[in-house]
C-alpha cells in the first residue's frame, strides 16, 4: 500500500461508536426486602441532606456501563447505592453510562452484602471500584449483620486503605463529608439495625418522613410554648387582680375607701 493510500485510510477511519443497545434491568431482585429498604434509606436520606441542591446524582441497583467490552461480555455492575458529585442532577437516567457522563464514575459506593455475595463485594467488586472506577470511598454492609460494616478510602497512590472506625464504630466518608454508622429502628414496618448517615456533629441524617415528623414536633412544641405563655400571662393577671382585691379589703378594714386612693 502506497503513502497516499495510507493517508486516505487514516482520513477515512472513524473511532468506533459506543454501544447504544444497553439494557437497564436484568430482572434480578435485591437479596431481600431488608436489602431494598436499606438501599432506599441511603438514597432518600442523602437526598434529604442535599435538599435544594441539583449538583449530584444518587441511585441504587442501577447498571453502571463503563466500557464496550463490558457490554459485549454482559458483565453488568449495579452497585446497591452510589453517589456522584458535581454533575447535573436534573438529568433523567435509567442507569449510569460513563461515556455519556463525561467519563465520570461514582464517587461513593455502598454494597449491601449477604453471605452469598460477601466474597465478591470484598474481592472482585472492590478491585473494580479501586482500579477502574477509582471510586473515592467504598463501603460494604450486611443488613442482617450489624457488625459487618467495613470501608476503604482511595489514597494518593490510588490504592484502597481500610478505614478505622471511631469509638462508635462509624466510618468517615470523606467524599460526602458524612459518617456512615448504624442505627436500630423500624422503617417500612421492618425493625433492624440500619446503615445510616450522620453529619459532622454526629446528628442522624433524617429521611424525609423523619424530617417532616421532627418539624411537626417542633411546631407542636412551639404551639405548646405559646399556650403556656398565654396561660402564664392570664395567671399573672389573675394574681394581680386578686392581690388588688386583698389590698382593697385591707384598706376597708382600716376605714379607708380604696376607690378614692
Helix (H/G/I), strand (E/B), else coil: 92: coil
Residue 180 near residue 195 (C-beta atoms within 8 A): yes
Lowest mean pLDDT: which of 33-42, 55-64, 147-156? Answer: 55-64
Residue predicted with more confidence, 114 or 16: 114
Residue predicted with more confidence, 228 or 98: 98
Report the candidate in 142, 184, 139 with the shortest Cα–Cα distance to residue 160: 139
Report the candidate in 161, 162, 181 with the shortest Cα–Cα distance to residue 171: 181
pLDDT band, residue 4 (cuts 50/70/90) = low
The C-alpha cell of 98 is what?
A: 460513563
Average of per-residue pLDDT across 142-147:
97
Concatenated DSSP letters of 116-159? TTHHHHTTHHHHHIIIII--SEEEEEETTEEEEEEEEEE-TTS-
Q: Tell me how long the chain is.
A: 261
User: To 10 degrees, the CA torsion angle through 125, 18, 27, 59?
Assistant: 60
For residue 11, what pLDDT is reported? Answer: 46
Model confidence at 14: pLDDT above 70: no
Number of other residues whose CB lies within 10 A of the CB of residue 23: 13
pLDDT band, residue 8 (cuts 50/70/90) = very low
Model confidence at 181: pLDDT above 70: yes
Share of the chain above pLDDT 70, in %: 80
Average of per-residue pLDDT across 157-172:
97
The C-alpha cell of 125 is what?
A: 467488586
For residue 24, what pLDDT is reported? Answer: 46
Residue 165 near residue 180 (C-beta atoms within 8 A): no
What is the overall mean pLDDT for the chain?
A: 85
**In Å, how far from its chain's centre is CA 34?**
17
pLDDT band, residue 76 (cuts 50/70/90) = low
Q: Which residues contact 77 (CB under 8 A, 6 or more apart)?
A: 63, 64, 66, 70, 125, 128
Burial 123-142 (b: 16+ CB within 10 A, else e): eebbebbbeebebbbbbbbb
Read off the pTM. 0.75
Amino acid at each position: 500500500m502506497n503513502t497516499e493510500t495510507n493517508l486516505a485510510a487514516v482520513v477515512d477511519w472513524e473511532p468506533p461508536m459506543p454501544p447504544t443497545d444497553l439494557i437497564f434491568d436484568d430482572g434480578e431482585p435485591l437479596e431481600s426486602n431488608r436489602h431494598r429498604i436499606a438501599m432506599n434509606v441511603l438514597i432518600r436520606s442523602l437526598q434529604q441532606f442535599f435538599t435544594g441542591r441539583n449538583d449530584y446524582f444518587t441511585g441504587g441497583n442501577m447498571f453502571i456501563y463503563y466500557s464496550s467490552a463490558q457490554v459485549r461480555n454482559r458483565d453488568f455492575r449495579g452497585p446497591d447505592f452510589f453517589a456522584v458529585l458535581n454533575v447535573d442532577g436534573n438529568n433523567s437516567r435509567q442507569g449510569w453510562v460513563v461515556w455519556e457522563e463525561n467519563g465520570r464514575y461514582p464517587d461513593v459506593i455502598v454494597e449491601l452484602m449477604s453471605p452469598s455475595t460477601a466474597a465478591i463485594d470484598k474481592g472482585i467488586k472492590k478491585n473494580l471500584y479501586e482500579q477502574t472506577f477509582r471510586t473515592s470511598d467504598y463501603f460494604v454492609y450486611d443488613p442482617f449483620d450489624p457488625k459487618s460494616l467495613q470501608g476503604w478510602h482511595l489514597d494518593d497512590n490510588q490504592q484502597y486503605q481500610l478505614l478505622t472506625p471511631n469509638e462508635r464504630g462509624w466510618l468517615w466518608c470523606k467524599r460526602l463529608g458524612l459518617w456512615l454508622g448504624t442505627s436500630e429502628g423500624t422503617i417500612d414496618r421492618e425493625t433492624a439495625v440500619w446503615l445510616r448517615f450522620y453529619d459532622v456533629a454526629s446528628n442522624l441524617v433524617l429521611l424525609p418522613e423523619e424530617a417532616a415528623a421532627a418539624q411537626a414536633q417542633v411546631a407542636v412544641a412551639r404551639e405548646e410554648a405559646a399556650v403556656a405563655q398565654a396561660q402564664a400571662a392570664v395567671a399573672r393577671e389573675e394574681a394581680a387582680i386578686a392581690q388588688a382585691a386583698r389590698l382593697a379589703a385591707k384598706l376597708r378594714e382600716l376605714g379607708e375607701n380604696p376607690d378614692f386612693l
